[in-house]
Amino acid sequence: MRRFVVFVLLLILPLFIALPIYAKTQNKVAILEKDEVVDKDYFAAGDTVTVLGTVNGDAYVAGGTVIVDGTINGDLLVAGGNVTVNGVVTQDVRVAGGNITVNGAVGGNATAVGGNVTVSNDARLSGSVVMAGGQLSLLAPVGKGATLAGGQVTVGNSVNGDIWAGVRTLTLTPEAQVMGNLHYISDTDATILSGAMVAGQTSRETPPQQSQEAIQKSRGVAQGIGAGFKLASLLSALVLGFLLLKFFPRFMETSSEMIAKNPWRALGVGFLTYAIFPFVFILLLITLIGIPLAFILLFATLLIAYLSKIFVAFFVGNWIANKFHWKTSNVLALVLGLIVYYILTMIPVVNGLIFIVSVLIGTGALLLTKKDYYQKLRAKNSI
């Protein structure tokens, strides 16, 4: 639970504190030197992040270029443009990025999602592996099974378990040794070169062409999944809202007051934010130095959009409580507001409008409140 709270706070804090001054440090280079030892969880972000030392805990790293050459005695979580893992990770590795290369040793499971993902023959994976991307190369021995989803997928070493794959093309090199079954979904047969071995059964399925009856069943399943997703979304919003109330109660209250006093201003600021964002995002993408900032901005904008409903729901709960003269705590107001919000978003005709207005007003209120806090800090020379 402690790690979850810390992780959520790290997602939220930049919106309230760090983003206004990020432009001053956008060329940041973060380095954990070879002789440095961190006896707790390690967090680093920047254009370039290099981990050469030892982390006796989990490592959370984000950057344009990330290089991990040290030892992580815990989990490694990485997001970046170009990610290279050369060191030792005693537990799990989870990586998302554009180009991902794993050359090191992983004591647990490995999950990698990216445009191009390569696990070289120098790597050692003790657990299972999950890979997704445009081009995947699994050239290292895998201690357990492998789940692969990609366009062009190559397996070139031993896999001590089953392989499940959804691919456009699948190639097993002469070095490939599958100790379990090979099951894949593809329009074409796998290319299994001479010397490759599959100890179990090899089976291929083609992507199904659905009948009308199957489509109807799929719609029913989709509706069930949608209802489950709604419930899960409500529960996650409640948890995140509780954390916000615990750690940022005054900010929540001020944002609610901002919506009550200036709803049209908040709506206008929210509209301008999402109207301008695509142009800023594209402008940053076309400059090499701006690419990391572009994706950080995208992540922050998506997070603000998600948080916006929590701020609006908190306002709605307080408004209802005041309207009926109920004495409620902040927590009960949040629960009431979120329940009302999710009920309204299930009404087919108005759900889209409610969602859009909530995102715009919530975003505007959050940014206006954040701006006021920032101005107060500057007036006190705190930043």
Please report which confidence band the pLDDT of residue 224 belongs to, taking 50, 70 and 90 as the band edges. low
Give percent above pLDDT 70 in the chain: 84
Q: Which two tokens stand for residue 80?
A: 């970046």
Q: How far is CA 11 from CA 16, 62, 290, in A?
A: 10, 12, 21
Confidence check: pLDDT of 77 > 70: yes
Contact between 221 and 336 under an 8 Å Cβ cutoff? The reply is: no
* pTM for this model (two decimals): 0.53
Give pLDDT, residue 208.
Answer: 62
Q: Which of 145, 75, 148, 141 lies closest to 112, judged by CA?
A: 148
Confidence check: pLDDT of 15 > 50: no
Q: Which amino acid is at 217?
A: K
The C-alpha atoms of residue 346 and residue 352 are separated, in whole angstroms, by 9
Please report which confidence band the pLDDT of residue 287 belongs to, taking 50, 70 and 90 as the band edges. confident
Whole-angstrom distance between the N-terminal and C-terminal Cα of the chain? Answer: 31
Confidence check: pLDDT of 6 > 60: no
**Over residues 204-211, mean pLDDT:** 69
Give pLDDT, residue 212.
Answer: 55
Q: Which residues pair with 168 in a beta bridge?
A: none
Q: What does DSSP assign to residue 73?
A: S
Q: Which of 6, 14, 43, 15 lies closest to 243, judged by CA?
A: 6
**Over residues 305-324, mean pLDDT:** 87
**Which pairs with CB-CB distance under 8 Å and at least 24 residues apart come from 7-11?**
7/60, 8/240, 8/243, 9/243, 9/247, 10/43, 10/60, 11/303
**Over residues 335-353, mean pLDDT:** 80
**Over residues 167-186, mean pLDDT:** 94
**Over residues 320-349, mean pLDDT:** 82
User: What are the tens digits of pLDDT across the range 355-366?
Assistant: 888 888 888 888
